[in-house]
Amino acid sequence: MSFKVVSKENVFEVYHNDYLFTVCDYSATYKRPFMGPVFAPDGVSFTRFAPFHEEHPHQRSLFIGVGDVNGVDFWNEFEDDKGVIVFDGIDEISDDETAVVAVNNVWKKSDGTPVINENRRLTYSETENGVRVDVRVIFTAAYGAIEFGATKEAGPLGIRVNDFMRADNGGTFTNSNGGIKEGECWGKEALWCNYSAVLNGTTYGIAAFDRNTNERFPTTWHIRDYGLMAANNLFFKGGLSIPASESLQYDFTVVFWTDSIDESKYID
C-alpha cells in the first residue's frame, strides 16, 4: 500500500510509504482549511508551516482562496469582517495505491451567512521522484448568483513555499515559457510554474500545473519572489460570474519533487 489516510476530528493525515506526507486540516482552528505542512521522505517540509505568521498568515502551505466573492474577502484574514470557509462533511476518504481526501465546505460571511458551496477533492499518487496531488475544486452557487471580482488576492489555488525555497532567499522559479523569477513570470500565462531550491545538497521543488479544462486556460500566475505561487486568472483576465444553482470546476496538478522533474509528463 503506497498511501494511507488517518482520519481525526476534521483533520486527515496522509501517509506515503509509512512516512507522514501531509495533513489536510479542516478544523475550526483556522478561518481557511489548508493542506500542510508537506514533507519529503527525509522530513524536510516543502511548504511554509507557520499557522499564525505575521506576514501573510493566510498563506498556509497549500490552500484555496478568492479575495472577492460577491464582495466578501475569502483570501486575507487580518480583519474580523473577512469571510470564513467552514467544513461541511466528508465526501470521500480512500487509500491504497492512491489516496483521496474529498470534503464539502461552505464559504460564509463573518456573520455566518452562506455565500457559496465548495467541494474540494485532493487525489494523491506516486511519481518517479515524489508525490503528485491532483486538486479539484467545484464551486456551486447554491445561494444565488456569484461574482468573482478581478482581484489580485486570489488563486483559487495558492501555495506558500518554505522559506529556504524563496526566490529572494536563494531559491528560484521558472515557468513553461522559460521565464525566471517574478520579473518574467508574474502576470504571465503559463502551463506551469516550478519553484525549487537546494538544501544540504538535495534539490526540493513544487511544480504547479494548470489543466486545459479550466476556464480561460492557460492561467496567469500571481507568483512572488517571497514565496507565493498562485494560479490566478481573475486579476489579469477579469472577474467572472457563476449563475445561480450552477457550478464552476477548477483542476490543478501539484507535484512535490526531489532531485529532478520532467514537467512535460504532466502537460495535457
Q: What is the pLDDT of residue 81?
A: 86
- Can you give the pLDDT at residue 222? 96
CATH code, residues 3-263: 2.70.98
Does the structure show a pLDDT above 70 at 190?
yes
**pLDDT at 51 (0 to 100):** 67
Overall pTM > 0.85 = yes
Q: 202: which 3 cell numbers? A: 538535495
The model's pLDDT over 191-228, given as tens digits with 9 standing for 90+, comes to 999 999 999 999 999 999 999 999 999 999 999 999 99
The three cell numbers of residue 120 are 474540494
| Mean confidence (pLDDT) of the chain | 95
**Each residue of 54-83: pLDDT tens digit?**
656 777 899 999 999 999 999 998 777 899
Q: Residue 178 — very low, low, confident or very high, per pLDDT cuts 50/70/90?
A: very high
